[in-house]
Amino acid sequence: MIRFISAIIRRDLLLVARQPAEMINPLVFFVLVVALFPLGVSPEASLLSQTAAGVIWVAAMLATLLSLELLFKLDHDDGSLEQLLLAPYPSWTLVLAKVFVHWLVSGLPLILISPLIAMMLFLPSEAVPTLMLSLLLGTPTLSLLGAIGAALVTGVRGGGMLLTLLILPLYVPVIIFGASSVAAAAQGMPVDGYMALLAAMFVFALMITPWAAGSALKL
């Protein structure tokens, strides 16, 4: 089973390496949204530092959503999803492998660049570790939850809009607690509770979504 999972991960990483644009896309989107925000609202430091947490989290969520539609669609279109489903392993292993690569490509770069973005938006420097930790706990949850929607709309023409509608309600709690944790840290308040909730949501998503998305793929 480990070999099956690593075979998928290796293949998908190789595909990303062949088409680096796919990897850079969500990251560019994330940076652009955050960079344009001060131009549209106000470049005033006090206002930006207040809104920074929310802006970063919303941009991160949209960047994740952007690449989700293709999570299973490309595999479905060229027939490799059939072959993956025919392998003698439960389908949740396949979902787990695909989601891990999705997070590695769309989530991890966001976390790594987030200190820079935080500086751009005048987020107090003591909130940066919290921002990174909340993204570390939150972005995998976003990828996992999104997998259910992506699996359900696989094979549906123009499923992108449907996917957004399906998934957005599930994303709301992650965004609320993610953004609140950073805002609390910026005001010097404890963030343990937020982190515990984000971690709980991650564990819950990790338990439920691979199984749910795997079942949806078989439909």
Measured CA to CA, the distance from residue 168 to residue 145 in angstroms comes to: 10
- Closest CB to other proteins among 22 and 176? 22
- Closest CB to other proteins among 81 and 145? 81
Q: How far is the CB of 172 from other proteins (least distance, A)?
A: 34
Measured CA to CA, the distance from residue 131 to residue 195 in angstroms comes to: 11
Q: How far is the CB of 20 from other proteins (least distance, A)?
A: 11
Q: How far is the CB of 132 from other proteins (least distance, A)?
A: 32
Q: How far is the CB of 15 from other proteins (least distance, A)?
A: 6
- Closest CB to other proteins among 97 and 133? 97
Measured CA to CA, the distance from residue 35 to residue 72 in angstroms comes to: 31
In residues, how long is the chain? 219
- Closest CB to other proteins among 51 and 93? 93
Measured CA to CA, the distance from residue 219 to residue 216 in angstroms comes to: 5
Contacts of 134 (CB under 8 A, 6+ apart): 57, 177, 178, 181, 182, 191, 194, 195, 198
Buried b / exposed e along 144-168 (16+ C-beta atoms within 10 A): bbbbbbbbbbbeeeebbeebbebbe
Positions that interact with other proteins (CB under 8 A): 3-4, 7-8, 10-11, 14-15, 18-19, 77-80, 82-88
- Closest CB to other proteins among 39 and 86? 86
Q: How far is the CB of 148 from other proteins (least distance, A)?
A: 20
Nearest-5° Cα angle at 142, 178 to 202:
70
